[in-house]
């Protein structure tokens, strides 16, 4: 298989990451089918695409003709067979639950063409934990985009021990074709590259918050105005989702049994209250206005 063989992309999961990955691929010339089991999520994703393209035309960033071409490139469907049946590359972007991902990959293995690469956008779950659910482990790989996927340039291509060199190199080329900056992660490590670095910052920020050293607002200010970060750790948690942070920390705890891996009390409280950040209108900060 060569990079030229990738003509159609299927994205499984139409949530925040999924619909942005879909739109970004469509903006860069690929035919994309975005699928989800929840009709309301699909409807919201389709509306996002239409509003985004309309706004780009109004700002003079896209011509009406170019916007129409992008819109024609992307379709939305609740049927996995329709979305993945003729896909050359499938990118899964669902919840960080290993059982759910293995079920989806087992289904994709039966539905997608034999040559298709099956990638997961998972931030933490390594593809070697998913590959055995398929009959094509050499083509099952982590392709990790960052939120917001339309803006963030970095993509991590993680080559586990089961992933072929061909698969890794094709995905490196694919990322460049969609105007991303890929890095080749040569070994599976928890959190990959950037999230391991960010995790160290988050641990310190969360510890200082729980110990009353400083407020989350001031910790964010320190990172933005002192370290030059585009946003502070608590702003980033609100952006990526308190629910995701809770699930990731609980996953670490279940695997390690180490109580230090449990989510901090403030995150548990926000999670229990359904305050997941920007997606719900409130997290550490309020977005209701």
Among residues 123, 127, 142, 162, the one annotated as catalytic is: 123
Among residues 92, 156, 206, 282, the one annotated as catalytic is: 156
CA–CA distance, 211 with 34 (Å, rounded to integer): 44
Among residues 22, 127, 142, 195, the one annotated as catalytic is: 195
In this prediction, residue 61 carries a pLDDT of 95
- What pLDDT tens digit does each residue of the chain (289 aa) get? 999 999 999 999 999 999 999 999 999 999 999 999 999 999 999 999 999 999 999 999 999 999 999 999 999 999 999 999 999 999 999 998 999 999 999 999 999 999 999 999 998 899 999 999 999 999 999 999 998 899 999 999 999 999 999 999 999 999 999 999 999 999 999 889 998 998 899 999 999 999 999 999 999 999 999 999 999 999 999 998 999 899 989 988 998 999 988 999 999 999 999 999 999 999 999 998 7
In this prediction, residue 96 carries a pLDDT of 87
In this prediction, residue 93 carries a pLDDT of 97
Is 123 known to be catalytic?
A: yes
Structural contact between residues 208 and 44, judged by C-beta atoms closer than 8 angstroms: no
Strands 117-120 and 89-92: parallel
Phi then psi for residue 153, to 5 deg, are -80, -25
Among residues 16, 144, 162, 206, the one annotated as catalytic is: 144
CA–CA distance, 206 with 192 (Å, rounded to integer): 21
Cβ-based burial of 8 (10 A; exposed 0-12, middle 13-18, buried ≥19): buried
Is 144 known to be catalytic?
A: yes
Which residue, among 182, 178, 180, has the nearest Cα to 159 in the 3D structure? 182
Would you put residue 163 in left (φ > 0), alpha (ψ -120 to 50) or beta? beta
**What domains, with CATH codes, occur in the chain?**
3-185 (3.40.50.720), 195-279 (1.10.1040.10)
In this prediction, residue 50 carries a pLDDT of 97
Is 156 known to be catalytic?
A: yes
What HEC string does the chain produce? CCHHHCCEEEEECCCHHHHHHHHHHHHCCCEEEEECCCHHHHHHHHHHHHHHHHHHHHCCCCCHHHHHHHHHHEEEECCHHHHHCCCCEEEECCCCCHHHHHHHHHHHHHHCCCCCEEEECCCCCCHHHCHHHCCCHHHEEEEEECCCCCCCCEEEEECCCCCCHHHHHHHHHHHHHCCCEEEEECCCCCCCCHHHHHHHHHHHHHHHHHCCCCCHHHHHHHHHHHCCCCCCHHHHHHHHCHHHHHHHHHHHHHHHCCHHHCCCHHHHHHHHCCCCEHHHCECCCECCC
- What's this model's pTM, rounded to 2 decimal places? 0.83
């Amino acid at each position: 298989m060569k990079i030229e063989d990738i003509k159609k992309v299927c994205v499984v999961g139409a949530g925040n990451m999924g619909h942005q990955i879909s739109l970004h691929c469509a903006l860069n010339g690929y035919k994309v089918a975005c699928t989800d089991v929840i009709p309301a999520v699909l409807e919201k994703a389709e509306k996002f695409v239409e509003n985004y393209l309309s706004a780009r035309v109004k700002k003079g960033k896209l011509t009406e003709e170019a916007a129409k071409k992008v819109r024609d490139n992307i379709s939305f469907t609740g049927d996995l067979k329709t979305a993945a049946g003729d896909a050359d590359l499938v990118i899964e972007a669902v919840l960080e639950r290993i059982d759910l991902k293995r079920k989806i990959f087992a289904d994709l293995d039966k539905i997608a063409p034999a040559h298709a690469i099956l990638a997961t956008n998972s931030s933490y779950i390594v593809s070697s934990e998913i590959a055995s659910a398929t009959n094509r482990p050499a083509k099952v790989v982590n392709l990790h985009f960052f939120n917001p996927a339309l803006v963030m340039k970095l993509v991590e291509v993680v080559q586990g021990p089961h992933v072929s060199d061909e698969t890794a190199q094709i995905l490196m080329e694919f990322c460049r074709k969609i105007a991303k900056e890929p890095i080749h992660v040569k070994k599976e490590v928890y959190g990959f590259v950037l999230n391991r670095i960010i995790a160290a910052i988050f641990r310190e920020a969360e510890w200082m918050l729980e110990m009353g050293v400083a407020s989350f607002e001031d910790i964010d200010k320190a990172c933005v105005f002192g370290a030059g970060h585009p946003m502070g750790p608590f702003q980033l948690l609100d952006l990526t989702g308190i629910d995701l942070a809770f699930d990731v920390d609980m996953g670490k705890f279940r695997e390690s049994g180490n109580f230090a891996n449990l989510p901090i009390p403030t995150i548990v409280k926000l999670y229990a209250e359904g305050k997941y950040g920007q997606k719900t209108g409130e997290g550490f900060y309020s977005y209701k206005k």
